[in-house]
Amino acid sequence: MDYRKFDGTIYIRMDKGDEIIGCILDVCRKEQISSAVFSGIGGCSEAQIQTFLPESKIFETRTVSGMLELVSLNGGLVTDENGDLYAHTHAMFSYKKGEEHCVAGGHIKSITVLYTAEIELRPVNGGRISRKFDPETGTGFWSFE
């Protein structure tokens, strides 16, 4: 992984074997960023995609692997009630299964880079967004307190 900062925006290039969410969190820790939004594209080898099930308040996880074209990555990074960084990430992938072209997407637990990923990280300026746990839904939401 390598990154550069231009006019307050950070551009991250990830390499084979890098885990995307972990790399974004590492950059934020190094640059002392407590809240940001990010987007990106790339070529990946594995993704753990989750779907939140409100009735049980758990995430169901499935793994997709192979040549995965990361066609859209979007997310936010905030600090939770304990001061820990938390990334909320969604992504869409295209891939082939035999002769069929497929897509898969949703909430992301992890993504492993196959050959590269290019991420734009935009820190929040002039304020901070945090994460507040909501016991009714079993998940967290942005808080502006």
Instruction: Identify the CATH number of the domain in which residue 80 sits.
Output: 3.30.1330.80
Quick one: DSSP state of residue 121? E
- Give me the chain's average pLDDT, please: 93
Residue 52's pLDDT band, with cuts at 50, 70 and 90, is: confident
pLDDT: is 136 or 10 the higher one? 10
Judge whether residue 57 has pLDDT over 80.
Answer: no
- According to DSSP, the β-strands at 100-123 and 85-97 are antiparallel
CA dist 110 and 68 (Å) reads 13
pLDDT at position 132 = 86
pLDDT at position 104 = 96
The range of the structural domain enclosing residue 139 comes to 2-143
Q: How many domains does the chain divide into?
A: 1
